[in-house]
Amino acid sequence: MIGVAVSGGMDSLVCVYLLKEKGKSVCGFHALFVEPTEKSTYIKNKLVEHFLEANIPLYILDLREEFKELVIKPFIDAYIKGLTPNPCCICNKKIKFGVIWEKAKELGVEGLATGHYACKKIDPNGIPMLYRGKDLKKEQSYFLSLLDLSQLKIACFPLGEYTKNMVRREIRKRVLAVPSQLESQEVCFIKGDYREFLKENVKNLPPPGPIEDTSGKKLGEHEGLYAYTIGQRRGLKIPYSEPLYVIKKDIKRNVLIVGPKRELKSKKFCVKEMNFLLDFSKWPKEVYVQTNYRQAPKKVFVKNKNSFLEVFFEKEEKPATPGQIAAFYTKDNRVLGGGVIFDEELQ
């Protein structure tokens, strides 16, 4: 039997039917991550009705405590440290293919499917490989780059060869009523601005401090380093002859460093806590990296320093943001692995 993690949206629902129509025995898993709202309760109830009508088992999992401990708490801790985390990557690794998979295994489930637009292939030695999905505007392999080989082995991505428009056609073809019409959010547990979320959930946020230019001249005061991210322009509240951008956070000194756009550039960055989907010794010479989901892949040269990777751009680029995930690819879109971006000067 294959379990399908279902949110209530069209992507995961289509996965259920694609697998069932291929003759697979399927069941659904719908997880509760935060305190229920009227909308989330409606989605859950509609899913229960839908699965009953389709005669497919559906398991409702209350994972509020696990989600708080494994996703929300590290998210808050990272911002307090001045980092910019990516909770979706962590959720996929520790919740979907972690906690949910462990509970699914207890029920005899042999694999776990999700509605991610990504492809999985098997090499001649039986090793699973992760690739970008067919729909390059929608594909989500970046968010899966922290899955290890054991997790990838049991993973199933039925939408890998589908585009979003194809999925919409599958929904219409089956006349399915989709409980949730919303697209997946990057941070599902936050409604609105993350700064307000932090203010509501953290008693003692990091204090304000100086804003300096790259020469060390003080230009103003910041509200706390958690409230800014690399490349940010709006909200600096500094009168200047040209637009200013966040260049760097000096966490040790609690200083926000800003400058004009021409100074928003970097030649390299570092990545720790690497998850290798292919042994580094087998990486090709031509490697590409994404340092956030929306970014176009950049060609890089990578050095393995044993405890971390040192990554060099071909030309100067916008600095990579500490705390975010770097996903590495081959020219033909295979995911080589992923890890956490860090600033070696602050380690």
Which of 89, 91, 119, 156 is an active site residue? 91
- Amino acid code (one letter) for 91: C
Q: Identify the H or E element spanning 341.
A: strand 335-342
- Amino acid code (one letter) for 187: V
In the residue annotation, 15 being an active-site residue is answered as no
Token pair belonging to 215: 């020469």
Q: Is 155 in contact with 49 (CB distance < 8 Å)? A: no
In the residue annotation, 91 being an active-site residue is answered as yes
Dihedrals phi, psi of 265, to nearest 5 degrees: -155, 155
CA 301 to chain centre: 23
Give the Å distances, CA to CA, from 305 to 2, 172, 270, 271.
40, 51, 10, 10
Give the Å distances, CA to CA, from 44 to 31, 173, 254, 256.
9, 23, 44, 44
- Which residues form the catalytic set? 91, 188
